[in-house]
Structure 1
Amino acid sequence: MSTFRQRTTLLAAASTAVLALALTACGGNDSATKATGSAANDPAPAAASGRTAEQADTAKGTGAARNTGDSHRTGTAKTSGSASAPDCTTKDVSLRAAYHDGPPYTHIVLTAKNTSGHSCRLKGYPEIQFLESHRENVPAVAKSKPAAPVVLAPGTPAYALVRLSNGGVDENTEPVTAFSVMLQGSDGLATVNAPGAGLAVDPAKWATGYWTYELRNGADDF
């Protein structure tokens, strides 16, 4: 009986050792599998994430460059529309004068209408000479200067208000039936007939406004 018990004990101990080894082997394989899985799987998302960020940055950069280019072209097109218009010459416009308000007719309105087939830019103010005895140009009133250049499309007008005198009965005025006008940026000279029976001008009081699309209250009050 003693021998049988000893053999049973030895068999039980051997079985326990074999089971322990099997469990250790299984645990080792699982750990190895997990480690291998981590090593194989972890870098892939990182690399994919890196490529996605790079592609996103590239896409953003491309979009930004494309948008900037479009904005730049649009801005240039808008700006060049006015900048590319040539200066108006006396051959491009017809000039006429009309009384402004009633007697004693201290002001006239000078109208320049684009009669050419293209747009042109009307610069500054009309350079007017009323009298042969006074060869200087009529001075301009600074407050009447518009904020943007006047660009006339074909068939459209611009206006300049011109003061002739203060209308005083004792004022030293001279009669004018026609006068000369030059346009800034052009060498041409135009002769404009005075409206009605003529004008009475005072060299000490005359002044002209800038060319504008329409007469403006306040800015043209001089």
Structure 2
Amino acid sequence: MESCGMNAIKYVLFVFNLVFAISGIGIIAAGACVLADVGEFTHFVEGRIMAPPIVLIIAGAIVFVIAFLGCYGAIKEHYNMLIAFAAALLIIFVIELAVGIAAAVFKNDFSMVMKDTLKESIKNYTEADRLAWDNVQKKLQCCGVDGPNDWGPANGFTSSFPSSCCMDMQVICQIGSTSVYQEGCFNKLEMRVHKGATVLIGVGIGIAFVEIAGIILACCLAAAIKRETDPK
């Protein structure tokens, strides 16, 4: 009965690791999507906001490799390899849990810092700032930090906005023009980062708790192997 139970655990663990390998690809894809979505606005977004998706991509790659370690250990009934697999899973679990928590924390505290960065960028408005603003305003269809008024005399600008503030970039983008985007870029950037953080929280924490099942299965199989190989 014990041997039959061990075989059952072995094949369940093997199938689990095949699914786990696929989930590693999913983790990489999720991290890459968030990085691509928010990464193009790095001029205004803090570096620490970029850290969680990068860590998740690395963790996904490690998960993919570790899954094959688990498959091999299960089929070969290799005790030490199974213990190493369980330990590696535990480390990845802690990393992904930390990523999920970090994303949740950053989701709540980054807003004021990003708004200050946007406002400071308008006041300085170097060539790099101009390119960054044109990029964000065209892609997110917004204008200024909180609205078009940010490009007014209070910040040293004349009666016209950057052309990227207008739906039709071929015309002069002036105050009173009906083609000027009315929504500020801060709200749209905030929504982008919040959406990315939500994805990271869901993937990071969701996959992390699934890994607990892998740790338990690996430990059960390792214990069964040890019982059968140890002298009575």
TM-score range (shorter-chain normalised) is under 0.3
TM-score, normalised with respect to structure 2:
0.27
Structure of greater relative contact order (alpha carbons < 8 Å, 6+ residues apart): 2
* TM-score, normalised via structure 1 length: 0.28
- The answer to which structure has the higher helix fraction is 2
Largest Rg, 1 or 2: 1
